[in-house]
Amino acid sequence: MESVYDLYQRGCELLHHGDHQAAIVPLSKARDLEPDKTSIREALGRALFHAQHYESAAAEFHAIASQAPTNDYALFCLGRSMQLLGRHREARGPLALACSLAPERADYRLYRDRARRDAASSPEGERA
């Protein structure tokens, strides 16, 4: 049986080489063995996001943000996942928090502003 460290390392190597789908397997196993390790969950979230599994990616980034509410990257990725699921209204909160935590990040501001715009112009935004 592979250690958590070995699973994590293998998953990160696959992720680094752009094999996002394959990276999901060892990273999921590592997460199941160590669910409180944010580094594992972040790598898994990145793999899921790049493999276009946005709902699962959002769950991983939400878990990180719940455990570490000042993790601007996790909040940003949670917001981006929500945007790509068409859930612009839900994306606004984590993206705004990410911007507050890292105001120097122009990319965070760009996607925050898009979420605001898209929420206001979508049927979901009309219910806000």
Judge whether 64 and 71 are in contact, CB under 8 Å. Answer: yes
Flag whether pLDDT at 1 surpasses 90. no
Domain boundaries, the chain: 1-52, 54-128
pTM higher than 0.75: yes
For domain 54-128, the CATH class is mainly alpha
CA distances from 4 to 37, 39, 69, 91 (A): 10, 12, 25, 32
Each residue of 28-61: pLDDT tens digit?
999 999 999 999 999 999 999 999 999 999 999 9
